[in-house]
Amino acid sequence: MTDRPADLPRDPRHDPVLREEVIAALAIAPGERHVDATFGAGGYTRAMLAAGAEVVACDRDPDAIAEGQALVAEADSRLTLIHGRFGEIDRLLAERGIESVDGITFDIGVSSMQLDQGERGFSFQKDGPLDMRMAQEGESAAEWLNRADEDEIANVLFHYGDERQSRRVARAIVAARPLSRTAELATVIRKALRHPPGAPKDPSTKSFQAIRIHINGELDELVAGLAAAERVLRPGGRLAVVSFHSTEDRIVKNFLRERSGGDAAGSRHRPAPVAAARAPTFQTPARKVRPGKAEEARNPRARSATLRSAVRTAAPAWPGDTMTKEAISC
């Protein structure tokens, strides 16, 4: 185990959020096998390798896989890079003969690499095609916005973006169709919310976030990924999850609380006898961790980040992942 995670080398192109805190939660011992389930630009993977781990990393974005090949070569056979969804990480590992691992990390949401590339269509700050597809396949944001009715758009903006004026924004989007560029959508949202030029907080933020989460099915993917991690972590294995959205954090919090026996008394979603009949698959989760002021100043994207972590017990994984889906609305 490394004693000084803060001294691990940084990639100047990418500063992963809560990097030292994640590595500390993983408690990596040299030779252990860890999974970076959301490779992105490889920030956490580099830190895991520097701590002595063998790493299996995956990403659904083909660009991330292509750009990561240089790190594969640099890692001297200690890094395996897989193109695939983290919700299927148990299957992806099994296909490579890996039954269990010592740690799994998730960094939920859009990567800095994706945000910084205007042609990917994730950011209202850079004009580009209204795309937002992490896997670069399926329905784009433009295609969905141009076909969905007002109610569907409003519901997505409200539930995934916490946009209180979701109906006003949805009405404006429908009236402005067809839309094809991120700048067009941002302008429509700003006008709908009467945003004065030069005001500090851009009102497009919530809507862009909500549309991205919907297009990529990110909440369902998170639910599936947590259940998959439960299945492949060995007894004593560590789970670390960094999220940036209140709904994502609530899913992680409820998953770990329920899987650690914290919901044994039951809830309106799960009767007490059912919950009590299942042995806890995680020890009591660690307290949530937030970035310090120095990190927030260095990396403004860290401001909304939350890290939650826990240690796997020897109990069998719970069947399915329906409990966590129900817990979304708690």
pLDDT of residue 325 exceeding 50: no
Of 93-107, 271-285, 296-310, the poorest mean pLDDT is in: 271-285
Instruction: State the burial class of residue 99 (Cβ atoms within 10 Å of its Cβ: 0-12, 13-18, 19+).
Output: exposed
- The pLDDT-based confidence of 2 (bands split at 50, 70, 90) is very low
pLDDT of residue 290 exceeding 80: yes
Q: How far is CA 290 from CA 61, 271, 295, 310, in A?
A: 27, 33, 10, 16
- Give me the residue label for tokens 């890079």: 81
Say if residue 309 is in the same domain as residue 256: yes
Mean pLDDT of 4-31: 76
Task: State which amino acid sits at residue 218.
Answer: E
Q: Tell me which residue of 90, 138, 114 sits closest to 40, measured CA to CA.
A: 114
Say if residue 229 is in the same domain as residue 208: no
Where among 177, 197, 215 does a domain terminate? 215
pLDDT of residue 271: 53
Instruction: Say if 123 falls within a structural domain.
Output: no
Say if residue 253 is in the same domain as residue 161: no
Residue-averaged pLDDT of the chain: 88
Say if residue 16 is in the same domain as residue 70: yes
CA–CA distance, 265 with 236 (Å, rounded to integer):
25
pLDDT of residue 272 exceeding 60: no
Where among 181, 215, 249 does a domain terminate? 215
- The pLDDT-based confidence of 202 (bands split at 50, 70, 90) is confident
Say if residue 208 is in the same domain as residue 298: no
Of 45-54, 92-101, 272-281, the poorest mean pLDDT is in: 272-281
- The pLDDT-based confidence of 112 (bands split at 50, 70, 90) is low
pLDDT of residue 273 exceeding 60: no
Say if residue 177 is in the same domain as residue 41: no
Where among 169, 197, 215 does a domain terminate? 215
Instruction: Say if 257 falls within a structural domain.
Output: yes
Instruction: Say if 131 falls within a structural domain.
Output: no
β-pairing, 101-107 vs 33-36, is: parallel
pLDDT of residue 191: 95
Instruction: Say if 127 falls within a structural domain.
Output: no
For residue 294, give the CATH number of its domain: 3.40.50.150
For residue 211, give the CATH number of its domain: 1.10.150.170
Domain count, the chain: 2
Mean pLDDT of 51-70: 95
pLDDT of residue 305 exceeding 50: yes
Say if residue 193 is in the same domain as residue 282: no
Domain enclosing residue 261, as ranges: 5-112+218-327
Say if residue 104 is in the same domain as residue 231: yes
Q: Residues for the chain: how many in total? A: 330
- The pLDDT-based confidence of 11 (bands split at 50, 70, 90) is low
pTM over 0.95, yes/no: no
Say if residue 190 is in the same domain as residue 55: no
pLDDT of residue 201: 80
Task: Please list the residues that pair with 105 across neighbouring strands.
Answer: 36, 240
